Chain A
């Protein structure tokens, strides 16, 4: 034990020297001995993620009704891209992605910035953060009560003497998709507020004070001093928002079931309907693969670009 303690300062001094060349036998042993520790994680990822993914890709090349399966090549994909409903679903998915980037991210940033410098902001912030504690299903039920034609919103409009719109909030496209994005914003803004607050707190006071000494204030201070320092957290927030918007399902399913007539479906809803309602497992799998490709490609493209800049 004593010899260990005595040896330590030398190790610390040499800490910048690459260790690899030092003890090759030991290093290999360490690396091999790590394998058993990796096996459970690898097995879990393999069994839970990679095997199902490979099986879904294979299934997308089949005609499968849950009982019998027949290989049909790329027919499912050809049919999907010729289907108006699928293109509508793609368009809605794009609307959700853009909407989610503008609303929860933009509002989250504004709320975080204003409430962090405002008196009593801590309490005001709760109003925006609390809905995040609700599940998507509970949010959908609440907004269902509000948005249906006989719901709270139309009753309120009626009460103040105005006429509610003749077409319901959830019945016509693109209105129904937009109000659902707003409903989602109500719930999803909480987490972006929290993340931006963490980002704001990690900005060194000195930089802001230096900016103020140089005469910057208000928007200029925010734009040129604060915002650039929020960059790391913004990358995370936007990345999360893209992924969340692409997989949104519960809110849409409970509010409109993707309808009327499929006009408010997103890819995740189309995938569910094709698979579990129509029992066309091959077509559902094809939608799942398209969705997975979009999620991975957009996340990869975005993160790669942003992290390179950073």
Chain B
């Protein structure tokens, strides 16, 4: 009896061990980020929950053109999302399409060999006049295009019209007007400008805005590693930023970034600098043309060339996409005006296709200002340098926001330059 009992126990232990092995084996199949290769459906992974419905809408428009519908997945945290893509892109668990960023972030992904070449789709779109050919560099690596733009966000200053009316001011057209507006807003008990380092990345916003309005050429050179953070122009930019802090125009540097739309809507903060992609949140919160408007920040010194910061998310096709052919076709149709109209009217941002006009009045006014001023388009700080330099750089800028004094200008810029030296060398070594 005892022997039988031990035998049974052994058997059950062996069965348990087998079950563990099988279940671990199942784990190794992974929480796949989407290997479904259903006919007529392509999968897409992204980090913007608010885009999910719009992806489906764009998928329906793609289907009308004889393509596939889109089955979107979403990883809510940008950090987790980047991790998921890095680990899944080179495997068969990848989704067909991947939402990513342009500039150096796209290059970082493209040079790993995980993305499909979209040059022919790009050239086709250029031939049809669906995209500005000048922007090719920010979607390319080594001469080949690896991402199609999903929007073209201009960085503007949103302003609360009710506050402006109460104070008796209008959107500024010169730097002096911008300063005098802020003074009047502050005198009325409202915080003139939103700024926070709470979300981490948000610390570069005012640095980028001020530097590009001070000297757009210098900004472009600095971003490409051809100028130094310790140069006079960068010092001047921090001095102007520090001066705005000294005058008490900004919110506290630890205000929650998530509170920004509410603070802006209720008029606690009069102006927020942000990309036009933020427009969708204002609209969904119930703000209308009567409540808010947007203007391009004026240049600081008269005679400086006007410029605007531009940002584009991209869609890329994974080299190992289960539905590679269908995904490539979708990218060929992506900038088609029919698809773009459906897409941008849902996300409430500007299309990368210049022939597509959105029905949103605030975006229409931004487009009008861009058409009238013809500003130089500059790549946003976030995408304009090797990612480790940007991620480290925002930390130093965050420190400056907490202590925006003259004494802290050079230490901040020296740290930025040291980091730039290291990271540019590392980036070039990996070429």
Do A and B belong to a common assembly? yes
The answer to the question of B327 belonging to the interface, with a C-beta cut-off of 8 Å to chain A, is: no
A145: nearest chain-B partner, CB-CB: B256
How far is B386's CA from A118's CA once the two chains are assembled, in angstroms?
62
Q: Contact check, A262 vs B395: say whether CB atoms are below 8 A apart.
A: yes
**Smallest CB separation, A250 vs chain B (Å):** 13
How far is B350's CA from A31's CA once the two chains are assembled, in angstroms?
72
Name the one of B20, B86, B254, B392 contacting A279, with C-beta atoms under 8 angstroms. Answer: B86
How far is B17's CA from A47's CA once the two chains are assembled, in angstroms?
13
Proximity bits, B379-416, A CB within 8 Å = 1, else 0: 00000000110011001101101100000000000000
Q: Contact check, A68 vs B252: say whether CB atoms are below 8 A apart.
A: no
Could you say which residues of chain B place their CB within 8 Å of the CB of A273? 391
Q: Contact check, B255 vs A277: say whether CB atoms are below 8 A apart.
A: no
Proximity bits, B101-114, A CB within 8 Å = 1, else 0: 00000001000111
The answer to the question of B188 belonging to the interface, with a C-beta cut-off of 8 Å to chain A, is: no
Proximity bits, A96-136, B CB within 8 Å = 1, else 0: 00000000000000000000000000000000000000000
Which one of A164-172, A184-192, A223-231 is at the interface?
Answer: A164-172
Name the one of B251, B254, B388 contacting A278, with C-beta atoms under 8 angstroms. Answer: B388
Could you say which residues of chain A place their CB within 8 Å of the CB of B112? 65-68
Could you say which residues of chain A place their CB within 8 Å of the CB of B255? 148-150
**Smallest CB separation, A262 vs chain B (Å):** 5
**Smallest CB separation, A191 vs chain B (Å):** 28
The answer to the question of B374 belonging to the interface, with a C-beta cut-off of 8 Å to chain A, is: no
Could you say which residues of chain B place their CB within 8 Å of the CB of A170? 254
The answer to the question of A263 belonging to the interface, with a C-beta cut-off of 8 Å to chain B, is: yes
Q: Number of contacting residues on B, CB 8 A?
A: 42
Q: Which of A31-70 contact B (CB under 8 A)?
A: 33, 36-37, 39-40, 43-44, 47, 65-68
Name the one of A43, A149, A262 contacting B254, with C-beta atoms under 8 angstroms. Answer: A149
Proximity bits, A69-86, B CB within 8 Å = 1, else 0: 000000000000000000
Proximity bits, A14-40, B CB within 8 Å = 1, else 0: 000000000000000000010011011
Name the one of B87, B197, B398, B402 contacting A172, with C-beta atoms under 8 angstroms. Answer: B402
**Smallest CB separation, B417 vs chain A (Å):** 15
Q: Which of B76-115 contact A (CB under 8 A)?
A: 79-80, 82-83, 86-87, 90, 108, 112-114
Could you say which residues of chain B place their CB within 8 Å of the CB of A257? 198-200
Q: Contact check, A43 vs B20: say whether CB atoms are below 8 A apart.
A: yes
Which one of B7-15, B32-40, B278-286, B336-344 is at the interface?
Answer: B7-15
Q: Contact check, B17 vs A36: say whether CB atoms are below 8 A apart.
A: yes
Q: Is the interface of A mostly helix, strand, loop or mixed?
A: loop
Q: Contact check, B14 vs A36: say whether CB atoms are below 8 A apart.
A: yes
Contacts A67-B112, A148-B256, A149-B252 given; indicate if A277 touches B79 (C-beta within 8 A).
yes
Contacts A67-B112, A260-B398, A279-B387 given; indicate if A148 touches B197 (C-beta within 8 A).
no
Contacts A66-B87, A67-B90 given; indicate if A40 touches B254 (C-beta within 8 A).
no
Name the one of B13, B90, B252, B391 contacting A148, with C-beta atoms under 8 angstroms. Answer: B252
Name the one of A33, A66, A148, A149 contacting B86, with C-beta atoms under 8 angstroms. Answer: A66
How far is B6's CA from A67's CA once the two chains are assembled, in angstroms?
50
The answer to the question of B49 belonging to the interface, with a C-beta cut-off of 8 Å to chain A, is: no
Q: Contact check, B16 vs A40: say whether CB atoms are below 8 A apart.
A: yes
How far is B401's CA from A170's CA once the two chains are assembled, in angstroms?
13
Could you say which residues of chain A place their CB within 8 Å of the CB of B79? 276-277
Q: Contact check, A259 vs B197: say whether CB atoms are below 8 A apart.
A: yes
Could you say which residues of chain B place their CB within 8 Å of the CB of A47? 24
The answer to the question of B216 belonging to the interface, with a C-beta cut-off of 8 Å to chain A, is: no
How far is B256's CA from A213's CA once the two chains are assembled, in angstroms?
60
Q: Contact check, B254 vs A280: say whether CB atoms are below 8 A apart.
A: no
The answer to the question of B21 belonging to the interface, with a C-beta cut-off of 8 Å to chain A, is: yes
Q: Which of A167-184 contact B (CB under 8 A)?
A: 167-168, 170-172
Name the one of A33, A43, A276 contacting B83, with C-beta atoms under 8 angstroms. Answer: A276
Q: Could you name 24 residue pairs across A and B whose Cβ atoms are closer than 8 Å?
A: A33-B9, A33-B10, A36-B10, A36-B13, A39-B17, A44-B20, A66-B83, A66-B87, A67-B86, A67-B90, A67-B113, A148-B198, A148-B256, A150-B252, A172-B402, A257-B200, A259-B197, A261-B395, A262-B395, A273-B391, A276-B82, A276-B83, A279-B108, A280-B388
Residues of A with Cβ closer than 8 Å to B? Answer: 33, 36-37, 39-40, 43-44, 47, 65-68, 144, 148-150, 167-168, 170-172, 256-257, 259-263, 273, 276-280
List of 4 A-B pairs having minimum Cβ-Cβ separation, nearest first: A261-B399, A149-B252, A67-B112, A36-B13
Additional 6 contacts, C-beta under 8 A, given A36-B13, A65-B108, A259-B200: A40-B16, A67-B86, A257-B198, A262-B395, A277-B79, A278-B387
